[in-house]
């Protein structure tokens, strides 16, 4: 039997706090698509953000390096430093050959 491939979707929301998301119980904003995905998937109820700026935070997630090590400080991306241990490399290895 062959293992079925799983889909992995990360939803990032700039300048958005958990307490105003319907999937966390906020009643005043309706986002049925977002809430439906959250209901069928995994939500991170406690997470750490390494930077208050969106791009350095995303780069940290993708590369597994802090913004200071990645030298990504602003919303301008010059390049991603190559490295074998980043999230995207691990996901690709886990997916196996095409």
Q: Give the model confidence (pLDDT) of 64-74 as tens digits.
A: 888 888 777 88
pLDDT for 5:
66
pLDDT for 71:
79
Domain ranges of the chain: 9-47, 49-93
Reported pTM: 0.57
Q: What's the token pair of residue 58? A: 């995303």
Provide mean pLDDT across the span 40-52.
82
């Amino acid at each position: 039997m062959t293992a079925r491939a799983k889909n992995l979707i990360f939803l990032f929301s700039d300048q958005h706090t958990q307490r105003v998301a319907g999937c966390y119980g906020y009643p005043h904003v309706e986002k049925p698509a977002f809430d439906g995905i959250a209901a069928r998937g995994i939500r991170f109820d406690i997470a750490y953000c390494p930077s208050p700026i969106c791009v350095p935070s995303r780069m940290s997630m993708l590369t597994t390096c802090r913004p200071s090590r990645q030298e990504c400080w602003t919303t301008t991306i010059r390049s991603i430093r190559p490295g074998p241990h980043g999230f995207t490399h691990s996901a690709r290895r886990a997916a196996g050959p095409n």
